[in-house]
Structure 1
């Protein structure tokens, strides 16, 4: 495991930025251990919902965790608004950093993560394999 601290800047798309890290570091598996910061807009798919809900305003990232694969991310985040109300859900593209996002990743260069459709749930599920030779070493 290789720890990788990141800082995202205002205007960055949180999810797209994290997905891009894997290709940049030439790994195909990572976990988001934690993240804090702020967003100006969030796109969260709430539990049981088919589509993301847009949440605007000054939002504090309380928690951010999940897994990253070359074919997609599975991220959960909890946010607090300016009144202290908390909401959480699955992170979709369109979560825009307001002032900063400070994130700690664990890169897993000896593993490959993929997302494969699970017939039981209808959702892509994480599949973990030892790293093949399809990617050059980091």
Structure 2
């Protein structure tokens, strides 16, 4: 099954996060400050003081056989090569971000996964967020997969 909805970019918000800022919490604050409930993270680059993220792993106790286990943790300076994601909300209107990122460590080794709290800005993180119009960027819990999934709807 494929769920679709069509809309437009309503406005763009550009932001810079300073050293020590938590990237996920910073994104949530930007969305709250600008009242963005439906949107996309168009671009994000910068540097992090270490990194932690989730990637799917086999989990026999999950219905789908997969889920998120313990976070992967990287130490030292990390280049944030790319940040992308969706700004969604649940049925109660609470903002739910789904963000992934690509990283490079000090040796040029690539990493990436699902952004979680605890990723602190090293020097800067620059983001461009697009608020969408005409699309309800819903996100709800899927009982079969036992994870939150994207559920776009036409407004």
Shared fold (TM-score greater than 0.5)? Answer: yes
Shift of 1:123: 0.6
Q: Which residue of 1 aligns with 2:38?
A: 29
Moved over 6 A (4+): none
Equivalence map 1:1-138=2 (5 Å): 1=9, 2-48=11-57, 49-69=68-88, 70-130=94-154
Shift of 1:72: 1.6
Shift of 1:120: 2.5
* Unaligned ranges ≥5, structure 2: 1-8, 58-67, 89-93
**Bigger Rg, which one:** 2
Count of equivalent residues: 131
Deviation per CA, 1:73-118: give whole Å up to 9, x if none: 1111111111111111000011100000011111124443232111
Which segment is superposed worse, 83-92 or 121-130? 121-130
- In structure 2, the CA distance between the partners of 1:130 and 1:22, relative to structure 1 (3 Å rule), is farther
Deviation per CA, 1:13-40: give whole Å up to 9, x if none: 1011111222211121110111110000
Output the TM-score relative to the length of structure 2.
0.77
Q: Is the 8 A contact 1:34 1:63 kept in 2?
A: yes
Output the TM-score relative to the length of structure 1.
0.86
Q: Is the 8 A contact 1:27 1:109 kept in 2?
A: no
Q: Is the 8 A contact 1:41 1:94 kept in 2?
A: no
**Aligned partners of 2:25, 2:34: CA distance in 1, in Å?**
15
**Aligned partners of 1:23, 1:111: CA distance in 2, in Å?**
18
* Unaligned ranges ≥5, structure 1: 132-138
Q: CA RMSD in A?
A: 1.6
